[in-house]
Amino acid sequence: MNGRRSNLADTVFENLKEAILCGDYGKDSLLPTQEELARSFGVSRTVMRDAFHKLSSLGFIEIRQGKGSFVRSTQPISIVPAVSLIQNNFKMEEPWIRDLMEARYYLEQSIVRLAAARILPGDITALQENVARMAEAVSAGDMPAFAAIDLVFHERLSEVCGNKILQQTVGAIRGVMKNFFDGFSRTPGVAPRALVYHRDILKAVRVKNPAAAARAMKAHLADISINLKKNYGINVLL
């Protein structure tokens, strides 16, 4: 996600979140379509999709295939009580990295396994576009863009998996993951390697192979752990 689009999506997200929290859209109410809201806000459908994606990840709305987007909660979720503390004090050092990677190791293998079993054609297209943009960012040497796209890839898998608890957990730790991706993606050689693993994950998910998808995710996270030890002296027990 480039910087301008990211900023626009964040602005739209904040406006819609405020409307939900203020009661403009009540619980279980149907939101206007993304196309209608895009015209209302004067933004592209891609920007609106990103804003809806964030609302969904944080548990404010539920996107139902073929039916629309419904307000799920008028209160922000709070699954991980210490998230704000971790996010504000996050550094590329222990114990934050160790705790995050241990959580991701178990969380994301479960997510991708379910996603591979439940993925729909439209989801596959979105993930393919995501990986294509990831490759463009690597070619351009744009690590901030790569980090943002990487985060969206994992968030989308959490949506596709169809488990609201897992999805909301990823939404709850989104800020911590973003800080990690922003820092770690700048490590020399990390982004091209991550691209290879993301292609492997996508390949397994696309053919609906849960076991292969879990293996690909496990290999990806193990590679990150090796690089953390090599470049930062951080030991992660996986």
- Last residue within a domain, chosen from 26, 51, 71: 71
Task: Reduce the secondary structure of the chain to three states and give it as a string.
Answer: CCHHHHHHHHHHHHHHHHHHHCCCCCCCCECCCHHHHHHHHCCCHHHHHHHHHHHHHCCCEEEECCCEEEECCCCCCCCCCCHHHHHHCCCCCCCHHHHHHHHHHHHHHHHHHHHHHHCCHHHHHHHHHHHHHHHHHHHHCCHHHHHHHHHHHHHHHHHHCCCHHHHHHHHHCHHHHHHHHHHHCCCCCHHHHHHHHHHHHHHHHHCCCHHHHHHHHHHHHHHHHHHHHHHHCCCCCC
What per-residue confidence (pLDDT) applies to 79? 44
214: in domain: yes
Quick check: is 78 in a domain?
no
> How many domains is the chain partitioned into structurally?
2
Same domain, 130 and 14: no
Has residue 76 been placed in a domain? no
Q: What is the pLDDT of residues 34-57, one digit of tens each?
A: 999 999 999 998 889 888 887 876
User: Domain span at residue 202?
Assistant: 83-232
pLDDT (0 to 100) of residue 91: 56
- Residue at a domain's end among 71, 92, 119: 71
Mean pLDDT of the chain: 86
The pLDDT tens digits for 12-27 are: 988 898 888 888 888 8
Same domain, 11 and 101: no
pLDDT by residue (tens digit) across 191-213? 999 999 999 999 999 999 999 99
Q: Domain check: are 121 and 208 in the same one?
A: yes
In a domain, 13, yes or no: yes
**Final residue belonging to a domain, choices 17, 38, 71:** 71
Residue type at 79 in one-letter notation = I
What is the value of pTM for the model shown? 0.67
Q: Are residues 218 and 120 in the same domain?
A: yes
36 located within any domain: yes
Higher-pLDDT residue of 60 and 36 is 36
Residues 55 and 94 in one domain: no
Query: 60 or 140: which carries more pLDDT confidence?
Result: 140
27 with 58, same domain: the answer is yes
